Amino acid sequence: MSRDAIRVVVADDQELVRAGFGMILDAQPDIEVVAEAADGAQAVEAVREHRPDVLLLDVRMPVMDGLEAARRVCGEFPDTKVIMLTTFDIDDYVYDALYAGASGFLLKDVRRDDLAHGVRMVACGEALLAPSVTRRLISEFAARRPSGPAAVLRAPAKLLDRLTIREQETLRLLARGLSNAEIAAELVVSEHTVKTHVSNVLSKLQLRDRVHAVVFAYEAGAVVAGEA
């Protein structure tokens, strides 16, 4: 195993799910499963002990559910990226999970190649939304606009002034669910330039990743639900 391997903790209350995901990921030359957890409390402890790059976290678990575990991990260990696991395409818990700081979610019936790819994406700072539901999730997420203690973003529109015109355009396209390649085509620039714009957006607005840039865009009124 490479010393630069992506370190992963898998947390799910179903032993077969944990074992299956663990076997798939451990078979990858650049990924190492360093611990498993059967509930949210164990997941938090495993992160404290192993400081993984990525935590795969089931939404519904005993003792401490995935949402509370995500809040604690994202608050205490910002370098650990959280991927929520869910059985449903659109699950109410997913919206709260994104606000709690998760970098995205995967469906439990994900293909093995997509699972490994998702872990790699999140580990390198990308956001992850299941491809089959990305745009629908964004639209419904914006329409629901969760509130309360789970919300980590309440974005004043004036913060948009920190961005250049090009960066604001990039943010709006991100909020429509476009990939870097699609944004590049839309703006008629290179993908490298788009990556620079995205990096600047995240840095200037102090956002964790692309998912939270989408949340910010809706919260700040840069885009509205259904605009895409």
Give me the average pLDDT of each 10-residue run along the chain (228 residues). Answer: 83 92 94 95 96 92 90 90 78 69 83 89 72 53 50 62 93 83 92 92 85 78 62
Whose tokens are 């956001």? That residue is: 127
> Which CATH number fits the domain that encloses residue 77?
3.40.50.2300
Residue 101: CB partners within 8 Å, gap ≥ 6?
70, 71, 73, 74, 75, 78, 82, 152, 208, 212
Are residues 128 and 197 located together in one domain of the fold? no
Are residues 126 and 163 located together in one domain of the fold? no
User: How many domains is the chain partitioned into structurally?
Assistant: 2
> Which CATH number fits the domain that encloses residue 163?
1.10.10.10
Strands (E), 59-108: 81-86, 104-107
- Range of the structural domain that residue 46 is part of: 6-136
pTM above 0.75, yes or no: no
Whose tokens are 């700040």? That residue is: 220
Three-state DSSP class for 30? coil
Q: What is the pLDDT of residue 188?
A: 94
